[in-house]
């Protein structure tokens, strides 16, 4: 369960998704949804950019400090763009992507084993509510923690160290958001799933490391449930079932 093994499962799931028509459809749908939400959020924020800037600092009359106002305006634009990306990811992840992620995980599990292991005495609606509840802490807490560490990196002399630490934490939790799909669907307790994360940190760091590559990360995130499910199938049943899918 090392670092390189995590990277391998990430790309393995990506290529399996590209070769499987139904997985390819759902992965591309998730990719399009994230992009569209990001565009909509950025458009709304920048449409009110001037009003937001005026609330913070109106354009000064003095030409001596006008340059500083333009600098602040540029920084605010950059911050708003980042916030729009984070907001679109959170909304997509909690209210929409959790359905696609779980569906993709079910598809690959059924294709590999012929069945989906889950509780028998729960309705589809109750399972959906349960999965959404699990998604909220898995998504919001890591993002907030990464933002706090990033701000500390800007404000303290330990900036480079904190920046690297925040990136590693983001990678680990992005990976866990996918590897936790199978245990959550099987309704394992949150404490046991979190202990599993702590016990496999190198693997999760490796699985999430490619998510730090701009551009490529959106594509890999779209198909990450496939690799994460293959990992659990190999862990539970050996490598014969899921390896057959990649041959």
For the chain, what is the total number of helices (H) and then of strands (E)? 12, 0
In this prediction the pTM is: 0.73
Distance CA(19)–CA(93), nearest Å, equals 24
What Rg value do the Cα atoms of the chain yield, rounded? 21
pLDDT by residue (tens digit) across 49-101? Answer: 677 777 776 766 677 777 777 777 777 777 777 677 667 766 766 666 678 88
Q: Tokens representing 81?
A: 């763009």
pLDDT in tens, 15-42: 999 999 999 999 898 888 878 877 887 7
Between these two residues, 43 and 230, which has the higher pLDDT value? 230
Q: Domain limits of the chain?
A: 3-246
Burial of 28 (0-12, 13-18, 19+ CB in 10 A): middle
């Amino acid at each position: 369960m090392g670092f390189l093994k995590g990277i391998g499962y990430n790309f393995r799931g990506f290529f399996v998704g590209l070769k499987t028509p139904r997985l390819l459809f759902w992965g591309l749908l998730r990719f399009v949804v994230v992009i569209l939400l990001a565009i909509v959020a950025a458009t709304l924020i920048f449409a009110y950019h001037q009003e937001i800037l005026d609330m913070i600092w109106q354009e000064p009359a003095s030409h001596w400090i006008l340059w500083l106002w333009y600098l602040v305006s540029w920084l605010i634009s950059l911050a708003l763009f980042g916030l729009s990306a984070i907001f679109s990811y959170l909304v997509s992840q909690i209210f929409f992507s959790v359905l696609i992620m779980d569906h993709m995980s079910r598809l690959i599990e059924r294709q590999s084993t012929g069945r989906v292991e889950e509780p028998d005495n729960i309705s589809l609606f109750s399972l959906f509510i349960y999965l959404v509840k699990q998604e909220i802490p898995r998504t919001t807490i890591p993002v907030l923690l990464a933002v706090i560490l990033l701000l500390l990196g800007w404000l303290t002399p330990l900036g480079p160290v904190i920046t690297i630490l925040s990136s590693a934490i983001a990678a680990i939790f992005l990976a866990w958001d996918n590897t936790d799909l199978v245990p959550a669907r099987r309704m394992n307790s949150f404490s046991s799933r979190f202990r599993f994360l702590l016990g496999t940190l190198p693997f999760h760091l490796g699985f999430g490391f490619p998510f730090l590559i701009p551009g490529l990360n959106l594509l890999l995130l779209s198909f990450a449930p496939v690799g994460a499910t293959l990992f659990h199938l190999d862990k539970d049943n050996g490598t014969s079932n899921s390896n057959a899918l990649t041959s």
